[in-house]
Amino acid sequence: MNGKAILVVEDDRDIRGLLADFLRREGFSVEVAEDGAAADRILARVTPDLIVLDLMLPGEDGLSICRRLRARGATPILMLTAKNDDIDRIVGLELGADDYLGKPFNPRELLARIRAILRRSEASATRAGERRRRSFAGFVVDLDARSVERTDGTSVPLTSAEFDLLACFVERPRRVLTRDQLLDWTRGRSADPFDRTIDVTVSRLRRKLEMADPSAPALVTTVRNGGYLFAGDVKDV
């Protein structure tokens, strides 16, 4: 992971400095910003591989910044939230954050989350013709380039978390996958009984893929007391 660039957006000067020093010691290139305006100035000149974004910021809060960043592109976002603010975590995921970590946190856990996100978001450097491509219901997924297009060539922008979940589904179609399995495969950690990450990401994915009626999904169906099932007819391309 050495050489990867991270932008830390945190208003607390002490925390900001400690995070920057810690991540630099781990081999990352780090930029820091105290608020949304400072983050925008940095993003105008550099493109980080990941953004660590605090929820509580002066002026524009982290949720608003997350919404703007997600509209701009798919740079992975790890959101820092207050320990017990479940609603804010869910809203952050709805807006496109890839993961969250409650304060106070162990820096080693932050590092593990960052590395897991970066591993998931890296495109494999495979040669053309060797890429794993799947098609279903008018969509084409390139699992190595981490891209999704409609068959008419229109790109479908997905966040890193959304793509990871879709990849799980298209690699295991017509199988009931539990929330614990999906959380382990996409997040690399055990599920908390109250973790809504998978449900929120499924909801976002449905809105982008279920063109007819996301409220009556035909592709990603819910299995009562079981989990989710991808009902699309998946074919190799």
Dihedral of the alpha carbons of 190, 196, 202, 205, in degrees to the nearest 10? -110
| Residues written for the chain | 237
In this prediction, residue 195 carries a pLDDT of 65
Distance CA 162, CA 204 (A): 7
- For the full predicted model, state whether its pTM sits above 0.85: no
What is the C-alpha to C-alpha distance for residues 218 and 221, in angstroms, rounded to an integer? 6
- Pull the structure tokens for residue 35: 């608020």
For residue 135, what are the β-bridge partners?
A: 140, 235
**How far, CA to CA in Å, does 15 sit from each of 60, 72, 105, 123, 165?**
19, 27, 11, 31, 32
User: Which residues neighbour 222 within 8 Å (Cβ) at sequence distance 6 or greater?
Assistant: 228
114 touches 8 (CB < 8 A): no
pLDDT of 129 reads 46
30: Cβ contacts below 8 Å, ≥ 6 apart? 5, 6, 7, 8, 19, 20, 23, 24
Each residue's pLDDT tens digit, 27-77: 999 999 999 999 999 999 998 999 999 998 999 999 899 989 887 877 899
Looking at residue 37, what is its pLDDT? 94
Distance CA 25, CA 46 (A): 21
Task: Give the pLDDT of residue 119.
Answer: 83
Which residue is associated with the tokens 């996958």?
177
Side chain identity, residue 214: P
Note down pLDDT in tens along the chain; length 237 residues.
Answer: 567 999 999 999 999 999 999 999 999 999 999 999 999 999 999 989 999 999 989 999 998 999 898 878 778 999 998 756 677 777 777 778 888 888 888 999 999 999 988 887 774 434 444 567 899 999 999 988 888 999 888 999 998 889 989 999 999 999 999 888 888 777 765 445 556 788 889 999 999 998 667 677 889 999 988 899 999 899 988
pLDDT at 116: 87
Location of structure tokens 């820092």 = 80
d(CA 3, CA 49): 10
